[in-house]
Amino acid sequence: MKKLLNWLLKGLLAIVLLLALGGVSLWAFLPDRYVVNTPLRGLFQTQPLDSQTLHQRLKLPPGFSLSLYATGIDGIRVIRATAAGDLVASAPRTGQVWLLREDQHGGIDSIELVAGLNRPHGIELHHGWLYIAETDAVGRIRFDPVSGQVSGEYQHIVDGLPAGGMHWTRTLRLGPDGWMYLTVGSNCNACEDEPLRAAMHRFKPDGSSFETFASGLRNAVGFAWAPWSGELFVTDNGRDLLGDDLPPCELNRVTRNGFYGWPYAWGDRQPDPDLGEANSQRVAQSVPPAHGFAAHTAPLGIEFLTGASLPEGYQRSALVAQHGSWNRTRKAGYQVVSLHWDDQGKVTERPFLTGFEVDEAVYGRPAFITQASDGTIYLSDDYTGSVYRIRFGDLGDQPVMDFSKRVVNTSVEDESAGKADPLGDYAAGQALYQQYDCASCHDPARAGEGQVIVKLESLQSRYSPASLSSFLQTPTPPMPAFPLSVVERRQLAAYLLTR
């Protein structure tokens, strides 16, 4: 049975890639638990959001206002507000970290802080350092928030993290105890994974004293500390392929050495159908979540709100970005929700920012949230490459930066790809295709009985080698990220475009 499930999941991952490459937006050839219903526009090239769509679709609670801060930033993910009120933003797809700030003329400008990184995701600012969590390491570089400039060399302080895989993002935050906290997602949907995965770790700011803090967290992409209690809350993405409504995604109150269930249990110690029955002791040891989100909504960034300008009812609250589902017959998530704590610690969830998905049409995917010292809330959207501003009260006229109309400096990674060699790249790409046994899932002649295959046709008219290479660098889950170098991605893209 386990072998069959692994085979089905492998085929499903291949189909997601093929659909994305072929431009198919939706299909439902499999039973409900195996359905793939994911937005594919924007996987390869960022689609900036027009202002008319922004104001027509996106809705907030009374008293809050929203404006567009920046758009066209390819694959923007984590954002952090600096002491000067600017934003530092990671772009895993391009291997860059940016500074976004108002210029002397009142517009929004950008500065490339670091480039050539390996899927940079988590970022943190502490004592004059900019910390960056790549998929396989954590590094830091000197950063002055006043000038907005970095100085010195970027150096790794933590190495040896398991790279890539099904969940390749690494999130990083400074705790109130002065330690850096880091999450590493699982390499699979439901399996007994390698030790450093599906866990939260911590280390001192110089990279020393690395230790595992908590485990059983399948894909804990967002976390933050409640300012009124100091408790650590973590968003965790539940497993796939159990139907539309199971299991719930989770908000966990994480403590040291806690075990939060994956892959043996989910929810209130519900045994996982694949691994739970044979591991009843581990199921009993699991810590139930503090709050359950709807299944497959994919909660990512969480930010506790602070400041005197907050309206009544938001004094003990947090915002959570729900990235949205792929494994449901009807889409769910694609919104920002607010969480409210009462005096007994009970959590109530309410819609906060909605309209990113209407009647199965997707207009954006919320990713991460940060709040500046003046109370302004910023939200990243990696589907359109946008950042939104939110305030309680009127925002007034605000400048907007459009990266899609801007010539951006070539990154170190692009330079490291070297010069294209059409014949050599095709042959090398074909060898990579064989090395990773892609044909077992992608080619009809090698597919198992009942497996759905979508052929790759007319790709040259739709995508460039660069856009295919970019997708292979940061594939959208559930497709795993393979350990391909810049040159290897270029070679595989060349083969896929000409095979």
Q: Give me the DSSP letters along 37-96.
A: ----TTSSS--PPPHHHHHHH-B--TTEEEEEEEE--TT---EEE-TTS-EEEEETTTTE
Q: What distances in angstroms separate CA 35 from CA 13, 28, 117, one per listed residue?
A: 11, 6, 34
- Domain final residue, candidates 405, 428, 443: 405
CB atoms within 10 A of CB 437: 11
What single-letter DSSP state applies at residue 367?
E
Banded pLDDT at 380 (limits 50, 70, 90): very high
* Structural domain contains residue 388: yes
Please give the residue that has the higher pLDDT: either 284 or 104: 284
8 A C-beta contact, residue 153 and residue 168: no
* Structural domain contains residue 308: yes
Residue 183: predicted pLDDT = 99
Please give the residue that has the higher pLDDT: either 398 or 451: 398
Residue 203 belongs to domain with CATH number: 2.120.10.30
Mean pLDDT value across the chain = 84
* Structural domain contains residue 41: no
Residue 49: predicted pLDDT = 66
Banded pLDDT at 27 (limits 50, 70, 90): very low
Do residue 254 and residue 349 come from a single domain?
Answer: yes
Please give the residue that has the higher pLDDT: either 335 or 93: 335
Do residue 197 and residue 292 come from a single domain?
Answer: yes
The encoded tokens of residue 466 equal 């660069």
Residue 350: predicted pLDDT = 99
- Across the range 9-27, mean pLDDT stands at 46
Report how many domains make up the chain: 2
Do residue 87 and residue 167 come from a single domain?
Answer: yes
* Structural domain contains residue 466: yes
* Structural domain contains residue 35: no
Q: How far apart are the first and last CA of the chain?
A: 35
pTM of the model: 0.81
Residue 414: predicted pLDDT = 46
* Structural domain contains residue 39: no
* Total residues found in the chain within this entry: 499
Do residue 12 and residue 99 come from a single domain?
Answer: no
How distant is the alpha carbon of residue 97 from its chain centre? 15
- Domain final residue, candidates 342, 372, 405: 405
Phi, psi of 223 (to 5 degrees): -160, 155
pLDDT digits (tens, 9 = 90+) for 115-129: 999 999 999 999 999
- Residue 299's nearest CA partner among 193, 218, 243, 376 is 218
- % the chain with pLDDT above 70: 76
pLDDT digits (tens, 9 = 90+) for 325-339: 988 999 999 999 999
Do residue 6 and residue 92 come from a single domain?
Answer: no
Sort strands 347-353 and 357-358 into parallel, antiparallel or unpaired.
unpaired
Among 44-48, 110-114, 182-186, 367-371, the range scoring the smallest mean pLDDT is 44-48
Do residue 199 and residue 76 come from a single domain?
Answer: yes
* Structural domain contains residue 40: no
Sort strands 401-402 and 64-71 into parallel, antiparallel or unpaired.
parallel
Do residue 395 and residue 424 come from a single domain?
Answer: no
For 460, residues 6+ apart whose C-beta sits below 8 A from its C-beta are 497, 498
Peptide bond into 62 cis (omega under 30): no
150, β-bridge pairs: 143
- Across the range 239-262, mean pLDDT stands at 96
The encoded tokens of residue 260 equal 């939060």
Residue 460: predicted pLDDT = 64
Do residue 398 and residue 492 come from a single domain?
Answer: no
Q: Is the pLDDT of residue 64 over 70?
A: yes
Banded pLDDT at 192 (limits 50, 70, 90): confident
What burial class does residue 243 get, using C-beta atoms within 10 Å of its C-beta: 0-12 exposed, 13-18 middle, 19+ buried?
A: middle
pLDDT digits (tens, 9 = 90+) for 293-328: 999 999 999 999 999 889 999 999 999 999 999 889
Do residue 394 and residue 459 come from a single domain?
Answer: no
Do residue 79 and residue 226 come from a single domain?
Answer: yes
Sort strands 347-353 and 335-341 into parallel, antiparallel or unpaired.
antiparallel
Do residue 248 and residue 132 come from a single domain?
Answer: yes
Do residue 314 and residue 201 come from a single domain?
Answer: yes
* Structural domain contains residue 36: no
- Domain final residue, candidates 405, 426, 448: 405
Say whether 469 sits in a helix, a strand or coil.
helix
Q: Which domain holds residue 282?
A: 51-405
